[in-house]
Structure 1
């Protein structure tokens, strides 16, 4: 998996996708968007990958859209603009819908679309010096393609504030609002991310995949007979699966399950 604007590395069933445009604070353009979409599609299909870390080189995590790319888009036709925006939306969806859990390793500031990448990830661990900003309104724009993920992470109330004010907020605020799960000193970031990755890899891969899907499917649903019946079907199916049977048997036999081999 060779890319111009990303690097992808593998270690112990974990893939690390690293944004690699530090000279522009890892801002994304059409090429980086295409590479991210391709990388997540390929990793999603690999059985040897249990978790994905989304990281970045340089002092910033991601500054959002590249200003030169945005300037070029201003001259696009309506159809070209819509197609371009859809590619960005599809890339964010690829991160969010990946069957592998995605850990955002937020080593520095995340602005605009960078906040979208953090919100589309399943788990976000950040250096406590990182700052966040939904800065689109400053430029006369809106945070449209990232909104489905950011609003889920921040909630409606906080989103209304930060989408409209475009004011930056610190890492402690990001934790309080739910965008970030843990804030740690920069020199402890790798250890914190590695701990989460190892925890994910110790669990049943099918159970992790189905747990992620369960949360996405259940969130916001009415607690009615349809939902109750659906959850019963899901647990019955996983209990009868090879992985479910192996997990229960391993627990009762006081041994490690086969997926930890």
Structure 2
């Protein structure tokens, strides 16, 4: 019999972050934790599993390796298009935003493009000061369209313009000053700070957490629902363009 496929998102409950915390860990080293169809599906499943467990009060998203998430899976995008993929990534952001339990992201290493949408959709994001971020879409003839729904909701307008139009790398400390993440701490203190925040959140009553999150995210949910279809169509159209296909092919050839 063939070996069972290795899961790309690990689901655990408890551990150093506390018994009331479900941790979803991205672990897809072959594509630097890119948002492939399978990884997105497994992340959906993990979030829904946590939502259905009454013992879980907090959901933590983290990653194995030196890259938190490299964004869209360009190998899939360059061969099969992104019509379904763009919609699924919007739906993933919406699920994080509307989940009845607070979602925390732990960010170390690099996070790029679509991966920043996960960070922005989360209720609380804690980054290492030396983590690196970049909205690289502009370099490939694309636009940060589907993740703009959450990213531009979090960032100040000036910071959004600088990072979206420039596509340059910025640090976790800068991400905190831009409003993208909640806080940035020295790398050696990251796990301690994440555990502290998760423990604090877990003291909330289930109803209090649910209703408070709905109040906090009401405008963001409305933004996603109002503009999601438009942004998905724009993103899919750009991915299918000759300019973007040439840029993606060149990028993939450099990274092999």
TM-score tier (shorter): 0.7 to 0.9
* Partner residue, 1:120: 121
* Partner residue, 2:50: 43
Whether 1:208 and 2:209 are equivalent positions in the alignment is yes
Q: CA deviation at 1:192?
A: 0.5
* Partner residue, 2:194: 193
* Partner residue, 1:55: 62
Q: Relative contact order (C-alpha < 8 Å, sep 6+): which is higher?
A: 2
Whether 1:16 and 2:19 are equivalent positions in the alignment is no
How far apart in 1 are the matches of 2:85 and 2:8?
Answer: 18
TM-score normalised over the length of structure 1 = 0.77
Of 31, 43, 64, the match for 2:71: 64
CA contact (8 A) 1:37 1:90 kept: no
How far apart in 2 are the matches of 1:105 and 1:8?
Answer: 15
CA contact (8 A) 1:3 1:35 kept: no
* Partner residue, 1:130: 131
How far apart in 2 are the matches of 1:198 and 1:7?
Answer: 21
* Partner residue, 2:175: 174
TM-score normalised over the length of structure 2 = 0.79
* Partner residue, 2:10: 7
Q: CA deviation at 1:37?
A: 1.4
User: Mean alpha-carbon deviation: is it higher for 54-63 or for 178-187?
Assistant: 178-187
Runs of 5+ in structure 1 lacking a partner?
222-261
Q: CA deviation at 1:219?
A: 6.9
Q: For each residue in 1:3-50, what CA deviation from the matched residue of structure 2 results, as whole angstroms up to 9, or x when unmatched? A: 711101001110000000134221121111111112212221221110
* Partner residue, 2:229: none
SS for the counterpart of 2:91 is helix
Runs of 4 or more consecutive aligned structure 1 residues displaced over 4 Å after TM superposition: 218-221
How far apart in 2 are the matches of 1:157 and 1:167?
Answer: 14
CA contact (8 A) 1:27 1:65 kept: yes
Q: CA deviation at 1:187?
A: 1.9
CA contact (8 A) 1:126 1:171 kept: yes
Q: For each residue in 1:48-79, what CA deviation from the matched residue of structure 2 results, as whole angstroms up to 9, or x when unmatched? A: 11000100000111111122112123xx4xxx
The alignment of Structure 1 onto Structure 2 pairs a total of residues equal to 214
Structure with larger Rg: 1
Q: CA deviation at 1:155?
A: 2.9
How far apart in 1 are the matches of 2:91 and 2:64?
Answer: 23
CA contact (8 A) 1:106 1:127 kept: yes
How far apart in 2 are the matches of 1:98 and 1:213?
Answer: 9
Q: What root-mean-square deviation, in Å, do the aligned CA atoms of Structure 1 and Structure 2 show?
A: 1.9
CA contact (8 A) 1:135 1:167 kept: yes
* Partner residue, 2:228: none
